[in-house]
Amino acid sequence: MEYFYYLVTLVGIYVVLAASLDLLVGNTGVVSVSHATFYGVGAYATAILIKHGLSFWKSLPVAVLCGAVTAFVVGMLCSRLRGDYLALGTFAVGMVGHNIMVTWESLTQGPFGITGIHRPGIGGSSAAFACLVATFAVLALCCIAGITRFSAFADDLRAIRDDEIAALSLGTELTLHKSIAFGLSGAFAALGGSLYACWIGFVDPSGFTVSESILILSMVILGGAGSVLGVSLGAILLAVLPELLRFARISPYPAALHQMVYGLALVVLMARYPKGFLGKYEFE
């Protein structure tokens, strides 16, 4: 049963991360690989505040705000870039973000990380925490789905995604729209980070690398960019798949084989579903 709670928590956090990244990828057309940085900002902010004696409930909104502000600023800087250059720009942000976590030792304690973060919930049991994460995940999904399905803002983002020049000719503020999209996306990523920090009780830079960002991006693309349901499915699949492979005892080199099976599965799935499983947005 413990293991089930573990899976629920893991999936819940990745669902939040993938859905928040989809605000950028599926709706704004920004292929960002800096998501782990905003995720990390949320995790570190929570860890540091809890270590300073704040409760989880007080540190959570601060962490979310930190993520939003960081992402907004990144958005302001990166919005001047276009297409592949924008993706490269976010890659640079991801690298720099990770390096800051490693080197700013007075704040983050560097590679050793911050330990002893208390878990909120009833007695801190894993069942209660899994419920908490699941609740937050559902709330975040509703929020993101509400924005993308019903808001005029999301239509503006999609106009920018489809044709920036056309959007400009209609008077749309490109930079502001993109920066706010980044900010929102970063806020939800920081929520994921905050939950992660409390769950594991320990944060160190290794969880917030560019390859983590790429994993989250794979969830979005595999599940289907532009669809909240799709990216959630992508998150569930890519979070659970390695767990399933753990049970398939493929000796004698389990780790290497897991990676190969995992990679192969990704290639096959993408070849079969180029728009992702439930994708609405097709990369052109």
Partner 1 sequence: MSLSKEEFADLLVVKDLTKSFNGNAALSRVSFSLRNGGGGVVLLVGPNGAGKTTFLDVVCGFLRPDLGQVFFEGRDVTNLPSEKTARAGVTRSFQEIRVLRQMTVMDNLVMASRCFVGIEVVTALLKDRKGPHEIRERAGSILNEFDLYGKRDRLAKDLSFGEMKLVGLGRALMKGGRLFLLDEPIAGLSERAMEKVIQIIASLVRDGKAVVAAEHKFQPLLNFCERMVVLCAGEKIADGLPHEVLAGPSTTIIYAGQGHDA
Interaction site with partner 1 (CB under 8 A): 147, 150-156, 158-159, 161-163, 165-174, 176-177, 180, 280-282, 284
Q: How many Å apart are CA 201 and CA 3, to the nearest integer?
A: 17
Nearer to partner 1, 151 or 259 (CB): 151
CB of 49 to partner 1, least distance (A): 26
> What is the C-alpha end-to-end distance of the chain, expressed in Å?
44
CB of 149 to partner 1, least distance (A): 8
The amino acid occupying position 32 is S
Q: How many Å apart are CA 2 and CA 16, to the nearest integer?
A: 21
Tally the residues of the chain.
284
Nearer to partner 1, 51 or 280 (CB): 280
H-helix or E-strand spanning residue 104: none
Cα 204-112-33 angle, rounded to 5 deg: 30
The amino acid occupying position 226 is G
Nearer to partner 1, 173 or 243 (CB): 173
Nearer to partner 1, 231 or 237 (CB): 231
Q: Quick count: other Cβ atoms within 10 Å of Cβ 158?
A: 18
CB of 200 to partner 1, least distance (A): 32
CB of 66 to partner 1, least distance (A): 19
CB of 69 to partner 1, least distance (A): 14
Phi, psi of 253 (to 5 degrees): -120, 70
Nearer to partner 1, 105 or 282 (CB): 282
Q: 152-162 vs 174-200: helix axis angle to the nearest 10?
A: 110
